[in-house]
Amino acid sequence: VSEGSSDADAVTVTGQAGFTPTGPVHFYVCPLASSPCTSTSVGVTNLGTATLTPSSASVDVATATSASFSAPTTGTYCFLGIYAGNPHYSVSSDGSTPDECFTVGNSVL
């Protein structure tokens, strides 16, 4: 990602047959120095919550996308998504995996 550009995180929650995942997903982003990324990490940015939206292709799948994030400086950042769960599904998160991280570099003019 070029400096000055923004990025967002997206989650897909796949449930059991016949039970659509519902509820909020809370999103955060941490600088790589805060590894693993947690909601209380030093330098964490709280991106707020998004509500899962059921998939039109499958009743068992729902998705949510975070607010956009523009990094204040170059470096590596990692997203964290925490699914609050519902009566059928437990709380879960996806932070600090390599595919949740991105590098912000200098923009080339």
Contact 94, 26 (CB under 8 A): no
Confidence of residue 108 (pLDDT cuts 50, 70, 90): low
Contact 27, 79 (CB under 8 A): yes
Q: pLDDT tens digit string along 26-78?
A: 999 998 766 678 888 888 999 999 999 998 877 889 999 999 999 888 888 99
Residue 88 has pLDDT above 80, yes or no: no
Contact 45, 73 (CB under 8 A): no
For the entire predicted model, the pTM comes to 0.84
Contact 82, 24 (CB under 8 A): no
User: Amino acid letter at 82?
Assistant: I
Q: What is the DSSP letter of 98?
A: G
